[in-house]
Structure 1
């Protein structure tokens, strides 16, 4: 791998992933070339789930093709750097990447307010899913219960199973990403909304802290028969031997007021590498175009199903 592809990690940013030393570096998880023979990486994008599902790669290849065929630019490459929302925004603030695709409005607004990001556009709509074992030990009712009732049932059943462990079934447990990701922030928000803080000392024994990325977390929840919050992109990107053991109890919609809507925004950093500035700015414009970046979103499928919804016409 070319040395210029390696970027610096701000001290402590990836501590949850086991990177604790100073002056640590991060290699791109993947490099895309659009099918051409480009050499230089002219856009560096940080993201978690959409990178794992393949959308970042589809965007990258589509953008490179657009630039080569429409603008007649020389071929180039795009690097994807794996990071959750907190990590991606940290890389952006440090100038280690040019663009971050993230999922938390409050964190994104702070990035813009602080000057770390200079532009924010709506990229696509993902959707959170509450999933769990088919045995459904918390007795969630997918037809009648709203998401807060479901979280209350998980808390009540989890506490009861800790006090009196069941002999004939798996106990009720909830797998938390526990990693400062947008999913972790959302699940925490839902627990706090019902007046529960299961991660506080002494943390609830049914609350399983599992600070890994989306695909790995869903695989663990499936293997351990635990409830968890995931997203549609991760669900549809996972092998059937993982998802067939789980049930979707509640799924988010495109309604802006739906607590399980998971909007993704694309942020341009203020410390973009000088050689990448023009291409990164063009990517921001391209990704919002209905006939370009948004068309890629609407046509991106896994196992025959579209993973994400296009960005709405207005915020």
Structure 2
């Protein structure tokens, strides 16, 4: 019988670290990560929600929800609604007995953190890898928290001519009554490659990177294989970094990139990005559901109660409304019941209808 391959993980928390060995195929080698190198995964707490001295801790692993503030909003709402503070000897309310800790990694490394017991709940974005872990027997998906959505963003100057192409297709589709979606990801990616327009890839093993690779494949393009594609002076540039850092770099260098809708809205909300537009959104292949994962042997009441709440109406209302109070006035995510972004909340609608709001480049666009 052939022996299962083993994969080495090094968990880092500040100056300390520990080793973990896994046989899970979610850590299999790929173009990004060779089998000879250990996976470097964070075990550090990025943020704490609730009373930092609370005796009960639930650790959540996730990459994208934390930076947007949605994870904090959900945890705070849960603590407020479900965790009654204990009574002191004097009959006065004390602090809540529960806190949440967020550990930040991309999806596959978040799964590794779940397997190793570094986190108690994993919120991830790769359905095939989640299914793979479930078949291996150590993880189970207990639901979907929300839907994020990938978008293709790029410079206002639009060197690939996507804006013009979208306008032409919009006219054609309108005359043929074929709907409002006018530019598919595969068409846009092919045009970017054909025109050798600057494109930034995160190339870091994230769910975004893997989705981007699938979109290049659908477009019949293999960027990075030619010496003229990547490296110094090439149109296809690898920048391993966080989603927000990737967006800043593309904004500064005038490059296209695949990113998520929530990160774009966050960047415009904070004023960190001003020179990018969104050219492709809403396609089925850009949908990014956020799954809730637990270890297969997880049975603690505190954890089970929380994940059940995440699928309930109170949590879903938080998801549905998050971002509505920002000046752009559109939500960052959609709830379980709504896979697609409502037409009035799409970037294209904002670009046409709501001039003068922050995220000014969106509203200067002629999409």
TM-score for the superposition, normalised by structure 2: 0.70
Structure 2 match to 1:269: 295
Structure 2 match to 1:30: 47
56, 63, 66: which one aligns with 2:81: 66
Q: Whole-Å Cα distance in 2 between the matches of residues 59 and 31 of structure 1?
A: 13
Structure 1 match to 2:237: 208
Measured at CA, do residues 223 and 40 of structure 1 come closer, stay the same or move farther in structure 2, by a change above 3 Å?
farther
279, 286, 294: which one aligns with 2:309: 286
2:262 is aligned with 1:237: no
Q: 1:243-280 deviations in whole A, cap 9, x for unaligned? A: 32011101126xxxx111111111112365x8xx2211
Q: Secondary structure at the match of 1:293?
A: helix
Structure with more relative contact order (C-alpha pairs < 8 Å, separation 6 or more) = 1
| Count, aligned residues | 283
Q: Whole-Å Cα distance in 2 between the matches of residues 157 and 86 of structure 1?
A: 33
RMSD of the TM alignment (CA)?
Answer: 3.0
Residues 309 and 315 of structure 2 are in contact (CA less than 8 Å); yes or no, is this contact kept in structure 1? yes
232, 243, 255: which one aligns with 1:226: 255
Structure 2 match to 1:131: 153
Residues 10 and 91 of structure 1 are in contact (CA less than 8 Å); yes or no, is this contact kept in structure 2? no
Measured at CA, do residues 128 and 21 of structure 1 come closer, stay the same or move farther in structure 2, by a change above 3 Å?
closer
Measured at CA, do residues 41 and 71 of structure 1 come closer, stay the same or move farther in structure 2, by a change above 3 Å?
closer
1:148-227, aligned counterparts within 5 Å?
Answer: 148-158=186-196, 172-200=197-225, 202=227, 204=229, 205-227=234-256
Q: Whole-Å Cα distance in 2 between the matches of residues 307 and 183 of structure 1?
A: 17
1:101-116, aligned counterparts within 5 Å?
Answer: 101-116=123-138
Residues 128 and 229 of structure 1 are in contact (CA less than 8 Å); yes or no, is this contact kept in structure 2? yes
Residues 41 and 77 of structure 1 are in contact (CA less than 8 Å); yes or no, is this contact kept in structure 2? yes
Structure 1 match to 2:72: 57
Residue 222 of structure 1: how far off its partner (Å)? 0.4
Residue 232 of structure 1: how far off its partner (Å)? 1.0
Residues 41 and 109 of structure 2 are in contact (CA less than 8 Å); yes or no, is this contact kept in structure 1? no
Q: 1:106-155 deviations in whole A, cap 9, x for unaligned? A: 01111211122133311101111100011111111334232211100011
Residues 30 and 81 of structure 1 are in contact (CA less than 8 Å); yes or no, is this contact kept in structure 2? yes
Residue 300 of structure 1: how far off its partner (Å)? 1.2
Q: Whole-Å Cα distance in 1 between the matches of residues 268 and 209 of structure 2?
A: 22
Q: Whole-Å Cα distance in 2 between the matches of residues 65 and 57 of structure 1?
A: 12
Q: Whole-Å Cα distance in 2 between the matches of residues 9 and 245 of structure 1?
A: 43
Measured at CA, do residues 8 and 299 of structure 1 come closer, stay the same or move farther in structure 2, by a change above 3 Å?
farther
Residue 75 of structure 1: how far off its partner (Å)? 2.3
Unaligned runs of 5+ in 1: 159-171
Unaligned runs of 5+ in 2: 1-12, 88-94, 170-182, 340-367
Measured at CA, do residues 75 and 131 of structure 1 come closer, stay the same or move farther in structure 2, by a change above 3 Å?
same
Range 48-57 or range 67-76, more displaced = 67-76
Measured at CA, do residues 90 and 22 of structure 1 come closer, stay the same or move farther in structure 2, by a change above 3 Å?
closer
Residues 59 and 103 of structure 2 are in contact (CA less than 8 Å); yes or no, is this contact kept in structure 1? yes
Residue 39 of structure 1: how far off its partner (Å)? 2.1
